Structure 1
Amino acid sequence: MPIIRPFLAICAMLMSGLSVAQLPPASDIGPAAFLWPEERPWCPDADNTPPCGSSYGVGKRTEFPLTNGRLALVAQENTHAVQIGISYFDDPQTLDDFEIFYDPSEINLKPGHTCIRAPDAPHGIYIGDHATFFMRYVPNEVPEEAYYACSDVRFVAEADFKADGVDTHCFNVTYR
């Protein structure tokens, strides 16, 4: 589970008194990523390729609540122009397959962790249905290039999700 490494590194840093500036950047994610639900494997050669920034297609789907879900994001750099969206297609292929629910005026990511609320699944989406969360962002660097990440989920009832004891590591801690 490579995406958990940034979380564990930050926890270790907080306990040891180190600052995030002293940690080397994670090499298995882009400038930002979904910490939870687990994102598709990162591919540096596909990081700028929409819609998912990965040469891997849909893989393991993380169980995600139909209602009251949260997305845990991690950033290694300051970013802007962040868009977060969702597709209810089994295997979204284009940006048009996604409905944006956070646009660039609502989110900027700073190094660290950011927890955001996901919209409740709309009418007609049921337990067992699939979805893919999408993130598009631009790091504050030159040249400005858009990066992409996706996370594939399978919906479960909120009560079943909580009963499973899953810890989403969803909290807000930013640095710099």
Structure 2
Amino acid sequence: MHFRETDVTGHPARRRARLGMGLVPQGRGVYPNLSVEEQLDLPPGRKNGGSQGSKGTVYELFPRLAERKRNSGSQLSGGEQQMLSIARALRGEPELLLLDEPSEGLAPLVVEQVGEVLKGLKARELSILLVEQNLSLALSVADRVYIMNKGRVVHEASAGELKKDKETQHRLLGV
């Protein structure tokens, strides 16, 4: 079964993963006592025959993880933990990658690195659903933007339209 063909709201996480969804949760969900290598061995691959989720591919995307593969999750910086969280999701070879606030608490340089990886994944035609407060990051990755306030969509536009519309950015986002 394909995730686009069914309502997945009631399914457990493992079933969603098997249907092609990868989640990068807010807060990262890194296991503090497992090494980077062990954590990358945890997610079951979907066995689509693709190389998107190979360890080699995720180490190419995040060379720092290859350098730190023997370190435990608790020994990683916040940025390294976020890289690991994204890499773990990619190991499942998702068709849709869901990211919840991937830039939260990260240094600007790391936000830029994560943004470059997301742009590269998008270029490989991986579908991405990004929940993000960092407008610059969101606009660099998104095709379409939905701005929410208290659980309601208050504005919808293409990323290109919103980039050009400084008045709307200021009114809705205070930027």
Give the TM-score category using the shorter length: under 0.3
Structure with greater strand share of residues: 1
TM-score (norm 1): 0.25
Looking at both structures, which has the greater relative contact order when contacts are Cα pairs under 8 Å and sequence separation is at least 6?
Answer: 1
Question: Higher helix share goes to which structure?
Answer: 2
* Rg larger in structure: 2
For normalisation by structure 2, the TM-score amounts to 0.25
